[in-house]
Structures are given as C-alpha cells and as structure tokens.
C-alpha cells in the first residue's frame, strides 16, 4: 500500500468553523428579581445535540443548551444557546462516525457554548454562571443504550 493510499484510509477530523447559530436571554421577572439580595437560584440545564450532512464528509453539529434559573419559584432568567460547528469527518466506519458526531463534536463545541452562556447571563445583570464540564461520551452511550432498549421493547411488542 502506498503512503498516499494509507493516508486516504486513515480517519480524518477537522474543525472548519465554530459559530453561534442562535442565542436568546429572557428575564421575565426583572427588575423585581434583582430586589432579593439573597441570590440562590435553582438552575436547570437541558442539553442536546443534532447533526446533519452538509456536503461530502462535512457535517454541521449543533449543541443546544437551555438554562433556566428560578429564584423563589419565579423565573429569573432563561438562556438558550445553539452553538454550532462545521466539521470534516472522513474515513470513519459508521459506528465511529456516529460517536464522533454524537459525542466528540459536541464536546468540542461545549467550551464555546459555556462561554456564551456565562457572557449573556452576566450581561443580563446576574452573577456569572459557569457550567460544569459534561461527559459527552457517557451521554452518548446512555442515549444509544436507551435507543437499543426502546427498539428491543418494540420488537417484543410485535
């Protein structure tokens, strides 16, 4: 096998672009929410990702974060961030490609999404919110297990 053929067979990964696709901040109970000096909100974080093929070996991956902060049962803020990226992925077997799109690419996007969340929450007049790191491999594995279990239960139901 020539060196050129060896390189063509090896998996290739590249980030083409990382960008903010959509972002919003809502503070429905301001300015009243600022009157309570004891800031101890209940934070709810929802996280998911999606992907689509854009061209040959090029995929857009979108990491969706929705963070809701409630103070005394009232919504202090709601932040939604769609952090996206264009990734070149070639030479991966299907099972590895799915893992790259479902775990590795969202993991690459997360620091940018976390920064956007912190920035917008701060600009909304709230104390900085730094999201904890996320194990995207574990989330992806859990999601795959749930899909397999659902498929198995559907098969036994028929």
Confidence (pTM): 0.85
At 1 the pLDDT is 46
At 4 the pLDDT is 52
Tens-place pLDDT, residues 81-122: 999 999 999 999 988 999 999 999 999 999 999 999 999 999
- Residue-by-residue DSSP string for 20-88: EEEEEEE-TTTTHHHH------EEEEEEEEEEEEEETTEEEEEEEEEEEEEETTEEEEEEEEEEEEEEE
H or E segment to which residue 15 belongs: strand 12-26
**Domain count across the chain:** 1
pLDDT average, residue stretch 1-13: 65
Tens-place pLDDT, residues 123-153: 999 998 999 999 999 999 988 888 888 888 8
User: Tell me, what DSSP letter sits at residue 124?
Assistant: T
Task: Give the residues across from 65 on adjacent strands.
Answer: 47, 81
C-alpha–C-alpha distance, residues 65 and 47, integer Å:
5
Angle at 49 (CA atoms; ends 116, 131), nearest 5 degrees: 40
C-alpha–C-alpha distance, residues 155 and 118, integer Å:
44
Work out whether strand 12-26 and strand 74-90 pair parallel, antiparallel, or are unpaired.
antiparallel
CATH number at residue 84: 3.10.420.10
> Residue 103 sits in which domain range?
3-157
User: Using an 8 Å Cβ cutoff, are 52 and 85 in contact?
Assistant: no
C-alpha–C-alpha distance, residues 83 and 106, integer Å:
9
Tens-place pLDDT, residues 44-82: 999 999 999 999 999 999 999 999 999 888 999 999 999
């Amino acid at each position: 096998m020539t060196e050129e053929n060896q390189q063509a067979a090896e998996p290739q990964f590249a980030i083409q672009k990382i960008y903010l696709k959509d972002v919003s901040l809502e503070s429905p109970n301001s300015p009243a929410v600022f009157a309570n000096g004891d800031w101890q909100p209940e934070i709810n974080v929802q996280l998911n990702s999606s992907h689509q093929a854009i061209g040959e070996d090029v995929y857009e991956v979108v990491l969706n974060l929705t963070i809701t902060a409630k103070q005394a049962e009232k919504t202090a803020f709601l932040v939604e961030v769609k952090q996206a990226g264009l990734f070149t992925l070639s030479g991966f077997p299907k099972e590895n490609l799915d893992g790259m799109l479902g775990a590795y690419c969202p993991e690459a996007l997360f620091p940018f999404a976390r920064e956007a969340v912190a920035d917008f929450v701060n600009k909304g007049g709230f104390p900085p919110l730094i999201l904890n790191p996320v194990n995207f491999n574990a989330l992806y594995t859990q999601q795959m297990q749930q899909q397999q279990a659902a498929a198995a239960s559907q098969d036994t139901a028929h």
